[in-house]
Amino acid sequence: MELKQSIEHFLDTIRFEKKFSNHTAIAYQNDLEQFFLFLKLNYQTDDLSGISHLQIRSWMAELLEKGVNSRSVARKISALKSFYKHALRESWITVSPMAKIQSPRISKRLPVFIEDKPINKLMEEVEFGDDFESKQEKLIIGLFYATGIRLSELIQLKETDLNLYKSQIKVLGKRKKERIVPITPEIRLMIEDFLDLKRAENLVSETLFCSLKSKTLNPRKVYEIVKRNLSLVSTQDKRSPHVLRHTYATHLLNEGADLNAIKELLGHANLSATQVYTHNSIERLKEVYKKHPRA
């Protein structure tokens, strides 16, 4: 099979069989095309079976020399490993050059989150207004913080995914995996109020949130809403929907929630992804301990 066809076959597999998001598939495609362009320019080859681990290491070295950070290089290597694993399974090759490749070490970054007081101030003291867009903005902020859902999950949240009687929502997460997330009485009332206003404005959309033209909200629009409103109560550099997701998880853990329960609420596939929040809680405990008279 030709290289272009093999890449397309791999991308179709991760999209339609493994249910990877389109965003991830595009990132993998860019990484693979970048790698094979490097091989063509430097080694005049695109033969899968003739590629060695030394060539892959030289690509890694070039990326690092150009200033690409180790986290990005590690992601590119992950894309290559997935591709070669697929190539082995399809019998396009008999030996994978990735067996001798190790990803560069990356330092773990603690999740950025916002403390309780700024969040409470935003939800309780900041005036949002009574028009449709203002009510929608407040509900977007509130839902992010009260459920920890991702930006993509919020945008595609449908009215039919709401179960206000049971105070819960159905969230479609990564790889089309569904999960049930509870909502607080306050958020339930906000949703009911918002839906009444949406009907009064004669807005008809399958998704819960929409524009004044009944169109699904653009991700950039939601990002800007979050950034602008968090700027009112926080001076930290990162002010994004994912920061609210981190805030949700960190606050739950600080209040004594079980780590496995948080894992399910966030829709993490592995507990290791959730354990990163324990570092923030440990740092919080250290700060509390410093207040001890003999500390």
Residues identified as active-site: 150, 174, 242, 245, 268, 277
Beta-bridge partners for 158: 207
Q: In the sheet where 162-163 sits, what is the strand order?
A: 162-163, 168-172, 178-182
DSSP string, 20-51: --HHHHHHHHHHHHHHHHHHHHHHS---GGG-
Of 168, 140, 134, 165, whose CA–CA distance to 154 is shortest? 140
Q: Which residues contact 288 (CB under 8 A, 6 or more apart)?
A: none
d(CA 233, CA 101): 45
- The set of residues, in sequence order, having a beta carbon less than 8 Å from that of 1 and lying 6+ positions away, is 9, 90, 92
Burial (CB < 10 A; 0-12, 13-18, 19+), residue 247, is buried
